[in-house]
Structure 1
Amino acid sequence: MTGQNGRIETYTHDGLTFDVRDSGPLDGDPVVLLHGFPERASCWDAVVPLLHEQGLRTLAPDQRGYSPGARPRRRRDYRTGHLAADVQALIDAVGRPVHLVGHDWGAAVAWLVAARSRDVRSLTAVSVPHPVAFQKAMLSSRQGLDSWYMYLFQLPLLPEALARPGGPLETFLRRGGMDDAALARFRREIVEYGALPGALGWYRAQFLGGGDAMPGGVTVRVPTTLVWSDGDVAIARKGVDLTPQFVHAPYALEVLEGVSHWIPTEEPERLAAAVLARIRSVGPETPEAPETPEAPEADR
């Protein structure tokens, strides 16, 4: 729903209603920002002012499972194809092509949207490599061990029980680099907000099958940057190194040394610089020229 100020405050798809943070110049080139687990659109709060300063409009949704109006209970409703279709519905609501940025699970979804949609002008994936590269790394490197928590999250109810204040889930997040402020935000915006079961649904749908991991092809054909940090305990280097073979367009890798997995909150300036460099490489959007009416036969 577009408010009186022209902002997209909510949008609907698949019978669900999604909340959106729409800010920056309304006439700026739009940038869609996709959060990961276990965060919401607020994870971009330190990044968006830096994009607004450069004349860009940002739209950051609370995705499926996170928005109160978009919390289906069935595991199959969190398959990747549904998550990507949610993002495409937001792009359709914007009404023009967008630059796409995603962190963590948001990056996994962004890869898929960029591979399928004609409405993505550039992609900046943060932390997570191309999904097929990630899958290959699971079988050929320590990535399988680093992803142990994905198997834990398959269990019913137990992960939710582990999310008590000061409990094992918070310990896991802290060891991965979350600071006190981020952990407080996790308690407030995920656990107390009732978003944790839906957030875990993204993991619980992973092994359902159905072939929707990368429907419509795997190759990304828009200019792409992958931002990865060598202090990331969840994402090993192997998938990062395999990613370029799945991008048939200008590609750049930005490695942030000494940075944890939580790049948008830990290094917003460096991330914004990478996003801006990728967007500038594409240039401003130019409106399509109107078609010239064909001259009558007698005038040729």
Structure 2
Amino acid sequence: MKKKFLNRIVFRMASAVLTAGIAFGGLGALKVSAAPKEVSPGIFFDAEYYAAANPDVVAIVGTDPKALYQHWVNYGAMEGRLPYLGSNIAFDATYYAATNPDVVAAVGTDTMALYKHYITNGIYEGRLANQEQAAKASKQAIEAKKKAEQDELYKKIVNKINNENQYADSVYNFINQARTDKSSPVNIVDRADSLKAIAELRVEEIQEEFSHTRPNHTDFHSAIRFHHQYFEYEGEIIAYAADPADAIVSWKNNPDAMKTIEDGVYKKVGIAVENGYCVVIFIGGDAKEIEEDDD
């Protein structure tokens, strides 16, 4: 038999068709349930839902299904209380049938049959009643996905920062341990934020070209000058290794790097790590600011 879909029919709460003198037909069969029952043709009521949603009513009439239904007929409908879950949702039978072929296979395309399925099963299964709901759900899904992606990116950034901070801490501890093993009395270096800023500039540069020579073809000293400073003693070591332990090994195998690390003339360091690249700037002696030209 050829299926004919009805034109869009929207269902609202059954209270719209009720009058004060409505018959209490079919109520004898009404039982508390997690889904609405058809208490009379086209009129649905879920006593369990009504009781759960209206504790003030329960305090007055109790939980008897008949008493709850009678309260809704006499007062609840006019007060805007819902008789069952989904009773305030516009139902589009054509949309519901088109998007739920398994339901059509089970109950057919009759509008009331589709609506009964929705309020007794579909709404609990997450099925959507109309196109507007679908659009809203799609928007919410997109927003949820976007938020999840943002949260994941935030976690990655936080983890990256934490890992890079731990990397820098490992390098700093190694430098002082190497100096402790080499010299007596112990000659510990301090970390300086002003030097870290210089190291951060350099760590970006060595990702382009891994060298003590900067992209502008000057040496690392000019990075210190860029911050309007110069020191009596200045040094730099660099490494590229995902693990700080590997960076440390590379320095141990580099006599020039170890000479800089162990040299007591250096009193402060700035350390920067990014994407596995590491730069340590060393300074010692007197610091002087570079005066900028007026012209």
- TM-score tier after normalising by the smaller chain length: under 0.3
Which structure has more relative contact order (CA 8 Å, sep 6+)? It is 1
Q: Give TM-score scaled by structure 1 length.
A: 0.20
Structure with greater helix share of residues:
2
Larger Rg: 2
